[in-house]
Amino acid sequence: MASPAERLPQIPGRFMGAVRALLFWALVYGYCALCACLALLKLLWSIGRRPGQTFQWSIREAPPACLSDPSLGTHCYVRIKDSGLRFHYVAAGERGKPLMLLLHGFPEFWYSWRHQLREFKSEYRVVALDLRGYGETDAPSHQEDYKLDCLITDIKDILDSLGYNKCMLIGHDWGGMIAWLVAICYPETVTKLIVVNFPHPSVFTEYILQHPSQLIKSGYYFFFQMPWFPEFMFTINDFKVLKDLFTSRSTGIGRKGCRLTAEDIEAYLYIFSQPGALTGPINHYRNIFSCLPLHHHEVTMPTLLLWGERDAFMEVEMAEITRIYVKNHFRLTILSEASHWLQQDQPDIVNKLIWTFLKEETIRKRE
């Protein structure tokens, strides 16, 4: 005789998968709506306090001098054959030296690596890239052109175009996400991986669904799913949101950090005040949920993870969990007084930690 459990109708696996997908997208769009409401309240509050200033913003016509500082390197361009896109990058160090490729986060561009361009050019060909849609790099008009697989392929194609088949890859924030995925998908192209303030993608996707505190900190991922409104919110009060990200007490560079100068801030304002300059960067985020959840993937090259403990956007607990996905030498260093903008916040310490990691790997190979 059949047991009660056996007599119950069996729910097909496909149906359960559909239910999980429905719940996932309900979470995405529900939280997106909540974030939009909060942004709208902020907008109304700004209008109430400064009605004359809220909608005032200006395009910066001329770049500040720091963007053409010769000590940072040479401005170069490369056109990718398959995609047809032209990428802008700044390169320092002699051609033929080992390649160090730097991938910035949001809302940044190649200039966020200025301290590293100066530091590592003595032994490396250091290339700080403007990612697809950023700065002087081409920005495709379709949202689908910013899917993660396109961004990963960009890095592989750029390596080929630069005449290299491997590099030491460094990524921060969103550039860290791309760096992890390049290391996973094209391990033969990455000799060493260094990531700044971004966990392994599988850690991030699992942690955010299990910890409401991180879900709240990542609210901008959901807000960015909306068309045009996020770009508009960045422009109000002459890009106050952009300025506050780097300078406010809650999200900006820490009190003991290397603060951005007025000219540094103008460099960011020059880049992101150009017409349409925010749409490409935000489109990176508009595709992320179509690629989630990611499968678990192992990283097989030596890896250094640097983390600013005062990161307002990423919880430090994710850093230690990342260890389980690296099947090689893994070093984690957490800086207690540093912010999310670690390589700009504590450049001397970051550079020293990178040098130490590179040298210890060289010694290990000799032994």
CA distances from 216 to 37, 177, 199, 211, 213 (A): 14, 19, 17, 9, 5
Point out the catalytic residue in the list 264, 285, 311, 345.
285
CB atoms within 10 A of CB 337: 14
Judging by DSSP bridges, how do beta strands 167-172 and 99-103 pair with one another?
A: parallel
- Residue whose token pair is 């590099």: 167
Q: Is 296 a catalytic residue?
A: no
Point out the catalytic residue in the list 89, 154, 340, 345.
340
DSSP alpha helix (H) spans, the chain? 4-7, 13-49, 114-120, 148-162, 174-185, 201-210, 212-217, 219-223, 229-247, 262-272, 279-286, 317-321, 342-345, 347-366
* DSSP of 71-99: GG-EEEEEE-TTT--EEEEEEES-TTSPE
Q: Extract the tokens encoding 199.
A: 């966990």
CA distances from 194 to 84, 100, 155, 164, 326 (A): 29, 10, 15, 18, 12
**What is the spatial distance between Cα 85 and Cα 94, in angstroms, rounded to a whole number?**
25
Point out the catalytic residue in the list 130, 138, 154, 173.
173
**What is the spatial distance between Cα 164 and Cα 241, in angstroms, rounded to a whole number?**
38
Q: Is 115 a catalytic residue?
A: no
Q: Is 173 a catalytic residue?
A: yes
- Residue whose token pair is 């697989």: 149
Q: Extract the tokens encoding 179.
A: 């760096």
Q: Extract the tokens encoding 210.
A: 């299990």
Is the torsion defined by CA of 337, 338, 344, 348 positive or negative? Answer: positive
Active site members: 173, 285, 340
